[in-house]
Structure formats: structure tokens, C-alpha cells
Amino acid sequence: MPSTLSSLAFLINRSIITLEKACSESKLPFPGFDEPFTPASEAFRANPEAEEAAKVIAAAAHQLMMMVLPPSVALYTVVSGAHKSAALRVCLEANVTEILREGGKEGMHVKEIAERTKVNHQKLARCLRYLATHHVYKEVSPDVFTNNRVSSMMDTGKAVDDLIARPEEKHENTPGLAAVASHHLDEVYKAAGYLWESMSDPATAHSFESNETPFNLGFSVNTSFFETIALPDPRWQLRQRRFNVGMKGVTVLESADAVLKAFDWQSLPKDSVVVDVGGGIGSSSLILAKNLPDIKIVIQDTPIVLTEGATQFWARELPEALASGRVSFQVHDFFTPQPIKNASVFLLKQIMHDWPDKYAIKILSQLRQAARPDTRLIIIESAIPFACHDPSGDKGKGVIGAVPKEAPEPLLANYGVANELTYTADVTMLILTNAQERTVKDMKELLHSTGWQMTKIVRDHETGSFMQPVEAVPMVKIPVRDTAE
């Protein structure tokens, strides 16, 4: 029997051959690491074999690294996560990526970078060098740095002079990934330091209330995360704006047509009503509106989200949809009775993971009360797989797509770090809201308790999506439940 080391090396070598062959056949070269990111550079992932090979390489390489490092060093690759986050936040907030982009491919000396950022060049050099050691930025010569493929993901695309002159507008009208990164490096990072305190304090250890979280301890507030960022305080208003843009940035982490694959939208009759519940500014609905001109879309969210974000977003991206009335906004609290009674589809994209079961039950119950017999519920979330083989899998005999594809041995069944985004999201929800990403079993039980029957899970293995849309239909009999509880 080959050793684990040999097996991992074999998987890596075989997958590299597969990846390079797929790129060669499609005439899509594998992107250079020292070049900035462009959407076109990710085109190779559209090839299912290339995408699978890339996941296997990443999972195997990380597992191999953790095996061959001294255990103490391997441990500290995790312990030092806070240091990486702190250094990365310095560079993101100081606009280092944009400064280096304007500086050119040859790079800039750290003194020049620091002069524009108004920070100490010696301290900045240490942050940059630490990140370059982890392949974020590149030190091309002593104290001279440049962007690479990873650091370029934080580029807002704006001129540095504009960022310095109007820092509060840094993330406005940007793709949004820098905004969501800034959110994680600010609110999430600071709150994460209180996870142990929250879990060990008898007053909060077993609480799943959305205002008894590490976030509440870290920021000394009594309101939930979403209530807090909506406060009329300049500090939180800026965070609210950044968060709204960041939620658009999450779409960058998904394939552009992810929402189109979540359901057979073409099966809907003309003038069918799709309700985007808690839809934010409507990023997902925009994709639907562009591809499905014969359906009507209602985007529901809070007044501040719709008036300050959604209106401008749609006026810029697809004004015709608003003018014609096929897309409309509706202020709605999804804990209260759902006003739309003729919906063909209720769409909830990354909503349920924000709420503990107690509140998720209220949301789903209100939708079930408003549903027609033929209404479909589409929940786009991450379905958390185990890090081991699941012997309880139904072999495809139950709900379509319930059983995830497992990685080849000796890899972790969930592909390890290649699927890290799912687990990052799960712990983020724990830290901010006491909520969670759910396993298939969790979601099935949650739906059943509110009168919904899970019928399908869409697993887009071809694009390596970290979201697995769930489709559900109304059960004939609605469980008796007091939604006001």
C-alpha cells in the first residue's frame, strides 16, 4: 500500500496533468500568479475537469503541508490567523493595493507606499512582508513590493487620490469584494476575539438569541448585528453602507449564473411573480431580470436598504425594469405576515444562515401561510458537509442532490481548504448572529417543521460553487405553530 504522502503526491501530479491538459485543449492558459486578477483569467474553471483538478490540488497540497511541517509550526499556521487578518486590514484600509496598481508592475519601495498612506514605513514593511510570505503581495526586491493575483482582489478600481479625498465613499460603485473583506476584517475580526468568552459565560453559553453573541461582547452593544449597523450613528452608518456593497461582492465568489441554476426558471408561466425576500439591493434579482423578461420580481427589504441602495443600483444597472414595473420594491419585515399571496417563487438568498432556528422558523412559517399549493421555495445557502465520509448518505434514493460529492482518499471528504468558504461563513454567523450554515439534515428538519417539504438540492460541481440551492414545496398540512412566539 502506498503511503499517505505518496498518495497525496500522486493526486497532485495526476491533477496537474489534467488541469494543464484541459487548459491546453480549451486554449485557456492557466493564469499567472504574478498577474492581477481579471474575470477572463478564471475562464478555465468553466471546464468541469479543470475545476475538479484545481480543488484536488488545493486540498492535497494543504494536507501535505500540514503533514510535513513540524506539528508546532503546523499549529501556528492556524494560531497566527489573527496576525494575517490584522496585517491584511492595514493594507486594505491604507489603499495599498490601489497604490501599487498605480505604481506599476516594477513595484514600489515601501517608503513611497507609506508616504501616500501616511503610516510608518517600517511597520508597513513588516505587514507587507508577512503577507507576501503567504503569497498575498510580492516582495520583488528588498522593501519593494507589488501586487499579485491575490492582492489584486482587494482593488476597488478607484484612483488613489479619490480614495484619500473621500474615504467614506471607498466602496461605493465597486465590485464589492474589497467591501466584504473589509467587513470581515473589521466587525467579524474584532468580535471573533470574544467567541470563547461568549461560549464559556453561563449567561450566554447556551443562548441562540441574536443579541447575545460575540459581536455584542466585542462592541459592547445590546442590539443584534443587523439592528446595530442600522443605528443612526455615523460609525455604524458607514459600516451599513459597506455591508450593503459587500453583499453584492459575495456574488463575485459565485459563478455569474449561479442563481439561474438554482431553479428551472423557464418553467414559470408568463407574468409569474418571484418574491426576493430580504433581497437587499437586488443583486440576484438583477440576473433574473436580465435573463427572464416575462416574469415579475418584487424585492423586499428594509426602508434604508431599498431607498439608499437598491434604487440607485437598479437605476444604474437596469432602469428599464423599474420603469416598466416588472421589478418593484416593497418594504417588508419578513418576521411579519407575507403580503404577496400569489407568488410562484419565494427566493431567499443567504437569508436563513443569518438567523438561529427560533427566528428562521418565523420566517419560513410566514412564507408557508402565504404560499399557494404550487408555490416553490428556493433557499440559496451553503449545505455544510461533514469533514469525514458520511455513512448515512441515502445513495441518491431520497432528496435529489442530498448526498454531496466526496473527495478521493486520502483527502478529507469535504475537499478541505478547497471548500473553506463554507466553514468561514458558518463561524461568521456564529460570531455575529448566533446563527449558522446548516447541514442537509438541519435544513430538512427546519423546513418540515414549518410546513415545507424539501424536494431537491442543486449541487453545481462543475463550477465548484460554495452554495447549494434548496428547493421545497408546501406540505398539504401546515404544522400548528404560533408564529408570534
Give dist(CA 292, CA 416) in Å, integer: 37
Contact 460, 258 (CB under 8 A): yes
Neighbour count for residue 257 (Cβ, 10 Å): 12
Give dist(CA 165, CA 154) in Å, integer: 19
Which amino acids are annotated catalytic? 353
Give dist(CA 10, CA 4) in Å, integer: 10
User: Is 32 exposed, middle or buried, given 0-12, 13-18 or 19+ CB atoms closer than 10 A?
Assistant: exposed
Give, to the nearest 10 degrees, the angle between helix 81-93 and helix 96-103: 60
Give, to the nearest 10 degrees, the angle between helix 96-103 and helix 110-117: 130
- Whole-angstrom CA distances from 369 to 60, 276, 337, 481 are 47, 17, 8, 11
Contact 169, 176 (CB under 8 A): no
Query: What's the angle, vertex CA 167, arms to CA 134 and CA 284, rounded to 5?
Result: 75
Run of H or E residues at 110: helix 110-117
Run of H or E residues at 93: helix 81-93
Report phi then psi at 320, rounded to 5: -60, -35
DSSP states along 340-363: --S-SEEEEES-GGGS-HHHHHHH
Q: Is 210 helix (H, G, I), strand (E, B) or coil?
A: coil
Contact 158, 98 (CB under 8 A): yes
In 3D space, the residue among 213, 278, 137, 257 whose CA is nearest the CA of residue 435 turns out to be 213
